[in-house]
C-alpha cells in the first residue's frame, strides 16, 4: 500500500509520533514541517505521543515550534508523565523510587510526591539515560532482586539521529532485565496508553482519528491496540520485513496524503 493516494477515508484528526516523523534527532524533516503547518492552517486537530522520556511536554513544544511545527504542550503526551502517573497507582506518597533517565523523568517522578533514591527503593523506573553506567545497572539489579517494581518508559532499542541511529531506552531496559531477571512493565508504545490519552484530549472520533508513525512494531502497533486506523511514514526507522502487522496506509512522506482526505471546514 505504499504511496496509496486513492481511496483514503476522511481524516478528522491525527495522533503523531515525534522522532522519525517530525524530526530526526535535532534535524527537522522539512516535508513534515510543511504538512503540519498546513494542518494547523486548516484547523485539523492533532496531538503528539512520544516514547522519549528525556523532555517534558513544554520542552517538546519549544523544540517543535522552533522548527516551525505549531505545537501545544497540552497536546503532547510523554512517557515520563504517564510512567510517573503509573507509579502513583502502585505506591504510597513519599515512597522511594530509583530513576534511571533524564531530568525530565526525575522531575515527573518528584512532582508526584515520590522521594528520589538509589537504595532501599520501592520501584525502579527507567527510560533513556545517556549517562547510563555499570554502577547504575548494579544498583538497579540489587533493587529489583530485593522486590522493587520495575517500570520502563518504552521498548525502543534504537532512535533516529542525524543520518544514523543511537541506542534507545529499550536497550537499557534489556540490560537491566538481563541482570535482574525481572521484566519491566512498559508504559509507552506499543502499549495503547499514550494514544488513548491523546484521543481523550482531542475528543475526536476514534474511527477517523489516524495514528501516524514511522515504526510499525511500536507506533502502528499502539494505534491498532487503541482501535485507530494507522499511517506509516518512511522518514524514520525502517524495520526489516516481514512484520507481523501492517499499517492501513504506508507512505514515503506526509506530503503523500491528499489534501481532500481531511474533513475540516478549511480543507479545500
Q: Give catalytic residues, as residue numbers.
A: 17, 19
H/E stretch holding 142: helix 134-145
- Locate 208 and state its grid cell: 477517523
| Contact yes or no for 214/233 (Cβ under 8 A) | yes
Ramachandran region, residue 214 (left: φ > 0; alpha: ψ -120 to 50; beta: rest): alpha
Q: Where are the alpha helices (DSSP H) in 152-208?
A: 169-180, 193-202
- Hey, which bits of the chain come out as E strands? 13-16, 23-24, 27-28, 46-50, 76-78, 96-100, 115-116, 123-126, 149-152, 158-161, 164-167, 185-186, 209-213, 230-233, 249-251
Comparing CA positions, the residue from 242, 262, 266, 267 lying closest to residue 12 is 262
Task: Give the span between the Cα atoms of 57 and 10, in whole angstroms.
Answer: 29
Amino acid at each position: 500500500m505504499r504511496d496509496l493516494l486513492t481511496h483514503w477515508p476522511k481524516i478528522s484528526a491525527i495522533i503523531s509520533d515525534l522522532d522519525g516523523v517530525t524530526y530526526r534527532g535535532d534535524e527537522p524533516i522539512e516535508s513534515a514541517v510543511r504538512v503540519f503547518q498546513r494542518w494547523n492552517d486548516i484547523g485539523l486537530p492533532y496531538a503528539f505521543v512520544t516514547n522519549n522520556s528525556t523532555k517534558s511536554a513544554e520542552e517538546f513544544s519549544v523544540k517543535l515550534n522552533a522548527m516551525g511545527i505549531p505545537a501545544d504542550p497540552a497536546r503532547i503526551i510523554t512517557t515520563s508523565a504517564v510512567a510517573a502517573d503509573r507509579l502513583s497507582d502502585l505506591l504510597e506518597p513519599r515512597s522511594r523510587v530509583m530513576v534511571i533517565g533524564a531530568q525530565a523523568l526525575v522531575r515527573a517522578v518528584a512532582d508526584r510526591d515520590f522521594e528520589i533514591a538509589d537504595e532501599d527503593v520501592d520501584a525502579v523506573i527507567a527510560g533513556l539515560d545517556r549517562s547510563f553506567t555499570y554502577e547504575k545497572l548494579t544498583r538497579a539489579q540489587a533493587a529489583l532482586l530485593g522486590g522493587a517494581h520495575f517500570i520502563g518508559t518504552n521498548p525502543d532499542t534504537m532512535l533516529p539521529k542525524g543520518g544514523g541511529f543511537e541506542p534507545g531506552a529499550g536497550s537499557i531496559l534489556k540490560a537491566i532485565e538481563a541482570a535482574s531477571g525481572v521484566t519491566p512493565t512498559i508504559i509507552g508504545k506499543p502499549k495503547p496508553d499514550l494514544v488513548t490519552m491523546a484521543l481523550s484530549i482531542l475528543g475526536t472520533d476514534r474511527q477517523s482519528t489516524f495514528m501516524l508513525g514511522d515504526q510499525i512494531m511500536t507506533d502502528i502497533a499502539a494505534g491498532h491496540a487503541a482501535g485507530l486506523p494507522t499511517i506509516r511514514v518512511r522518514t524514520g526507522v525502517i524495520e526489516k520485513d516481514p512484520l507481523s502487522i501492517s499499517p492501513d496506509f504506508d507512505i514515503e512522506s506526509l506530503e503523500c496524503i491528499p489534501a481532500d482526505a481531511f474533513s475540516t471546514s478549511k480543507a479545500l
